[in-house]
């Protein structure tokens, strides 16, 4: 199976990246502890979004392999 889109193009990842960029801009403008924490949280959300997309892709691939295995049993 060919992956239809790259992980970076998934809407959840794109949204998390957009939020990260916004919080980074706020942090650059005003380097308060609150802004630093929000930026740190946004980085974690982006990483979590990538992990979710990767897990879903792997789960789908495992399902395809299991289905192919069942179809090939004699």
Domain that holds residue 15: 11-71
Is 53 a member of any domain?
Answer: yes
User: Tokens standing for 54?
Assistant: 């990767």
User: Tokens standing for 24?
Assistant: 């980074």
Check pLDDT > 50 for residue 1: no
Q: Distance between CA atoms of 73 and 34, rounded to whole angstroms? A: 58
Is 2 a member of any domain?
Answer: no
Is 3 a member of any domain?
Answer: no
Q: Work out the percent of the chain whose per-residue pLDDT is above 90.
A: 65
Indicate the number of domains in the chain: 1
Q: Give tens-digit pLDDT for 5-38.
A: 788 899 999 999 999 999 999 999 999 999 999 9
Residue burial 30-53, b: 16+ Cβ < 10 Å; e: rest = eeeeebeebbeebeebbeebbeeb
Is 43 a member of any domain?
Answer: yes
Q: Distance between CA atoms of 66 and 47, rounded to whole angstroms? A: 28
pTM of the model: 0.77
End-to-end CA distance of the chain: 24
Is 5 a member of any domain?
Answer: no
């Amino acid at each position: 199976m060919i992956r239809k889109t790259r992980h970076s193009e998934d809407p959840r990842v794109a949204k998390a990246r957009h939020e990260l960029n916004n919080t980074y801009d706020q942090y650059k403008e005003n380097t308060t502890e609150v802004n630093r924490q929000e930026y740190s949280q946004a980085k974690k959300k982006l990483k979590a979004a990538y992990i979710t997309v990767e897990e879903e892709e792997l789960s789908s691939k495992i399902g395809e392999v299991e289905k192919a295995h069942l179809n090939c049993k004699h």
